[in-house]
Amino acid sequence: MIRHLFVAGTDTGIGKTHGAQTLVHAFRHAGERVAGMKPVASGSARTPDGLRNQDALDLQAASHPRPAYAQVNPLALEEAVSPHLAAAREGVCVRWEPLDEAFAALAATHDRVVVEGVGGWMVPLSDELSMEQLPQRWQLPVVLVVGIRLGCISHARLTARAIEADGCRLAGWIANIIEPEMPLVDENIHTLRRHLDAPLLGTLPHRVAPAEAAIFLDLSLLG
């Protein structure tokens, strides 16, 4: 049975955090203790408590029991650029150890950890590390959030192919309606269902909060 999950996106800005939060709420509705995690986050604000990324804060707020921020987001970077560039410019060395420790701590106190990536599937974290290595390292099945907009079919199929080529399992995908005025939305989703070798877990309506959108996901399809 699937326990922990990695949430990937077809691109930046397609609602990956929204999908991850919705998964957290759906598992919570099923009675589980669930933590959201964003191991690496660029685009963080300076606060009295240190750097804080809004996506990570949203995942922390969705989690129950609520974990410490440092466990949700062990590596926060200030500049809103690719993590490897932000880390280099900020003099930060990206290492596995703090990420591994944070994940292990969450897994020890929660039934399930929903881990959100950054950007698309193959975002570099440093000269040596890349985001797709994280689900490989932690042996996490992948849920792909597909932002339904023009170009989503090719982006989703290419990402699914890369996930498989990297030795990871695509356990399911979520259709996130980000452009409700897009022509032929239903037809695009139908095409994706035919071409992606994984179940559609649900379609998230436009601008419905994650706690309410959770009812649109069928977790039983994850197996």
181 touches 161 (CB < 8 A): no
Residues catalogued as catalytic: 38
pLDDT at 223 exceeding the cut of 80: no
pLDDT band at residue 76, thresholds of 50, 70 and 90?
A: very high
pLDDT at 1 exceeding the cut of 90: no
- The predicted pLDDT at position 203 comes to 98
For the stretch 43-66, pLDDT in tens is 999 999 999 999 999 999 999 999
Q: What is the mean pLDDT of residues 66-72?
A: 98
For the stretch 112-121, pLDDT in tens is 999 999 999 9
Mean per-residue pLDDT of the chain: 97
- The predicted pLDDT at position 82 comes to 97
Distance (Å) of CA 4 to CA 20, 64, 103, 122 = 12, 15, 10, 20
Q: Which domains does the chain have, with CATH numbers?
A: 5-222 (3.40.50.300)
3-state secondary structure 49-102: CEEECHHHHHHHHHCECCCCHHHHCCEEECCCCCHHHHHHHHCCCCCHHHHHHH
CA distance 76 to 215: 31
For the stretch 136-185, pLDDT in tens is 999 999 999 999 999 999 999 999 999 999 999 999 999 999 999 999 99
- Write out the DSSP string of 185-222: HHHHHHHHHHH-SS-EEEEEPTT--HHHHGGG--GGGG
CA distance 3 to 65: 17
CA distance 94 to 150: 34
Query: In the structure, how many helices (H) and strands (E) does the chain have?
Result: 9, 10
- The predicted pLDDT at position 111 comes to 97
